[in-house]
Amino acid sequence: MSEQQVDTGRRRFLTVATSAVGGVAVAGVATPFLMSFFPSERAKAAGAPVEVDISKLEPGQKINVEWRGKPVWLLSRTKQQIADLPKNDPKLVDPKSEVEQQPKYCQNEGRSIKPELLVAVGICTHLGCSPTFRPDLAPADLGPEWLGGFYCPCHGSKFDLAARVFKGVPAPKNLEIPPHKYLSDTRLLIGDDK
Ligand code: FES
């Protein structure tokens, strides 16, 4: 079992359990039975997919899981947050996600398979800091037009709730969307979409 963080956006963190799967093919040698459920740290670093239970994820809530040593965010967007996404388009560098920062099936307004769930690698495309979740509307430090998003504290890059970068900040590209697929309505696999 590994831990994933729950980030409510209000600086409150909980931990919930998740499990990681895969790893048999990664090693390329005979692998003990248990390894198929709990891959070694080496196998995980090499890219074993991570299975996540999303059944407890509430609208507006974000959780963090680790895949290939990187933070991956799972954000359950509210209906209002989904409806607000197109309002940001004129202010974004790549609103249609034309730069290859996502699988083809996420080349849409929400950059996601289902509009309500964003899955993104939480590493800034400028110099690699991890942006902060800022779902609050029009906060004093981000301005009256802020509809929620992510703010990188290192050099001030801003991303919307589809992880698309705003114009006029140091980060050149949208955040990366990792390959992923739904195993069921409540289980997601990160790192494998085949
Ligand atoms: S690393 Fe994010 S703005 Fe520089």
For residue 15, the model assigns a pLDDT of: 41
Nearest Cα residue to atom 3 of ligand 1: 155
Task: Determine the number of helices (DSSP H) and then strands (DSSP E) in the chain.
Answer: 3, 11
**Pick from 23-32, 95-104, 120-129, 138-147: least confident:** 23-32
Q: Is the dihedral of CA 108, 53, 128, 88 positive or negative?
A: positive
pLDDT digits (tens, 9 = 90+) for 98-139: 999 999 999 999 999 999 999 999 999 999 999 999 999 999
Residue 183 CA to residue 21 CA, distance in Å, equals 12
Residue 47 pLDDT level (bands cut at 50, 70, 90):
confident
Phi, psi angles (nearest 5°) of residue 108? -150, 180
Q: Which atom of ligand 1 is nearest to the CA of 171?
A: 3
Q: Which atom of ligand 1 is nearest to the CA of 157?
A: 3
Could you state, in order of their start, the residue ranges of all structural domains in the chain?
Answer: 2-190
Q: Which CATH architecture has domain 2-190?
A: 3-layer Sandwich (2.102)
Residue 31 CA to residue 39 CA, distance in Å, equals 10
Q: Which atom of ligand 1 is nearest to the CA of 131?
A: 2
Q: Give the Å distance between the CA of 174 and the centre of ligand 1.
A: 12
Average pLDDT, the chain: 86
Q: Which helix H or strand E contains 188, and what residues bound it?
A: strand 187-190
**Pick from 15-24, 40-49, 95-104: least confident:** 15-24
Q: Give the Å distance between the CA of 88 and the centre of ligand 1.
A: 20
- The DSSP result for 53-115, as a single string, is E-TTPPTT-EEEEEETTEEEEEEE--HHHHHHGGGGGGGBS-TT--SSSS-GGG-STTSSSST
For residue 7, the model assigns a pLDDT of: 66
Greater confidence, 116 or 44?
Answer: 116
CB-based pocket (< 6 A), ligand 1:
124, 126-129, 152, 154-157, 170-171
Nearest Cα residue to atom 1 of ligand 1: 127
Beta-carbon contacts of 31 under 8 Å, excluding residues fewer than 6 positions away, are: 23, 24
Contact 121/129 with Cβ under 8 angstroms? no
Residue 158 CA to residue 25 CA, distance in Å, equals 38
Q: Give the Å distance between the CA of 117 and the centre of ligand 1.
A: 24
